[in-house]
Amino acid sequence: MSNRSIARVILVAIAIVAVLYFLYLIRNVLWLLFIAVFLAVALGPLVESINRHGVPRSLSIVLVYLGLLLSVFGLGLLVVPPIVSGVNKFVNHVPGYVTDLRKSKAFRKYDNKYHITPKLEDEAKKLPSHLTDAVSGLRSVTVGVFSKIIQLVTILVMAFFLLNDGKRILGFLFRELGPVRAARAGRIMEDVYRAVGGYVAGNILISIIAGVTAYIMMTILGLPFAVPLAVLVAFLDLIPLVGSTIAGVVVAIVAAIVGFPGKLIAWVIYLIVYQQLENNLLQPVIYKRTVAIHPLIVIVAVLVGGSLLGILGALLAIPVAATVQIVVKEWWAFRRERLLPTPPPADAPAEA
């Protein structure tokens, strides 16, 4: 190799390393942009449905944002007050619950030996103060919460511009690729757009099923706050892997307070059975219809995404898997077109 070629290779290597290092430095910004793109694609069908009714696109985006805000606010009003009221009642009745334990012969036997009741009564009297300390401790995370709010606002602003001007930006980029590549890139983006929209619709459908079945089970068991707890189950079920478990634990606490151990055992059995059905039946079947990927790919993608990036990886696993599948299909079709022999022109002279 000549000195010029060696110098070119070294400069290219240095440039690649510099670009990678720069991307590493702005990784947080890129992550926020990635989330904003995903949010824009997820909200795109809803914005377009409002826009088709004659509402300006920017106003359609604002209406969708307001709908999301009102949904979260309404969920808080529906779920938080009953739970707070129930917790307060539970705290006030804890000393009585400790006293009632003395009615059990088995407990009374160990209590006389190890003096459990006096210790529980002391802790029960301290419980309100512990809750106060916990509430005051929440103030220490105010700065962290504020920074997260700023990040959320940044994501929403970027998603707003992507929803409003995303098609024009993509159109400009596709035109620079040339007519053939632009058509292929446009097909890929349309398929990815439909796949992500289908994933969001499927996730919402699964969450609704989780909330309805949880409400039916809580009604059968006679648990209080069935409606707000069912809404909480549906909302948390949107979070893959741990969402339904967190909601199930909250309901299990209520079941333990109301009817220990019978109602608690019944709820735990229901929760285990439903999670198995949701993970191995509902999700693969529904995502096969809404995202058009095989159920086996759904299960493997969720497991791989969860193992790599945790909750967020599981949340993005199915859209990423659908995108990879679409790109591979388009590349395979392009490869087959290149391998097929080109037909002769119609006006070519026939061979003798």
- pLDDT on residue 18: 92
User: What's the rounded Cα separation, in Å, for the pair 166 and 66?
Assistant: 21
Question: One digit per residue, pLDDT tens: the chain, 352 residues?
Answer: 677 788 888 888 999 999 999 988 888 888 888 888 878 877 887 888 888 888 888 888 888 888 888 877 776 776 667 666 666 665 565 555 555 555 555 556 655 666 556 666 565 555 555 555 544 444 444 445 556 677 778 888 888 888 888 778 777 777 777 777 777 777 777 777 777 777 778 888 888 898 899 989 888 888 877 888 888 888 888 776 667 788 888 888 888 877 777 888 888 899 888 888 887 788 778 877 777 777 777 777 777 877 776 766 777 777 788 888 888 887 887 777 766 655 555 555 555 4
3-state secondary structure at position 317? helix
- pLDDT on residue 288: 76
- pLDDT on residue 256: 80
- Alpha-carbon separation of residue 183 from 188, 189, 190 (angstroms): 9, 10, 11
- pLDDT on residue 125: 58
User: What's the rounded Cα separation, in Å, for the pair 326 and 195?
Assistant: 9
* Backbone angles phi and psi of 349, in degrees to 5: -65, 140
Give me 173's structure tokens. Answer: 């980029």
Residue type, 301: A
- pLDDT on residue 287: 76
- pLDDT on residue 141: 43
Find the angle CA(205)-CA(209)-CA(211) to the nearest 5 degrees.
Answer: 115
Q: Alpha helices of the chain — where are they, by DSSP H?
A: 3-25, 27-51, 57-100, 105-114, 116-137, 142-175, 179-221, 226-236, 243-258, 262-277, 283-290, 295-339
Nearest alpha-carbon partner for 195 in 292, 284, 312? 292
For the beta carbon of residue 210, count every other beta carbon within 10 angstroms.
25
User: What's the rounded Cα separation, in Å, for the pair 34 and 323?
Assistant: 14
- pLDDT on residue 166: 76
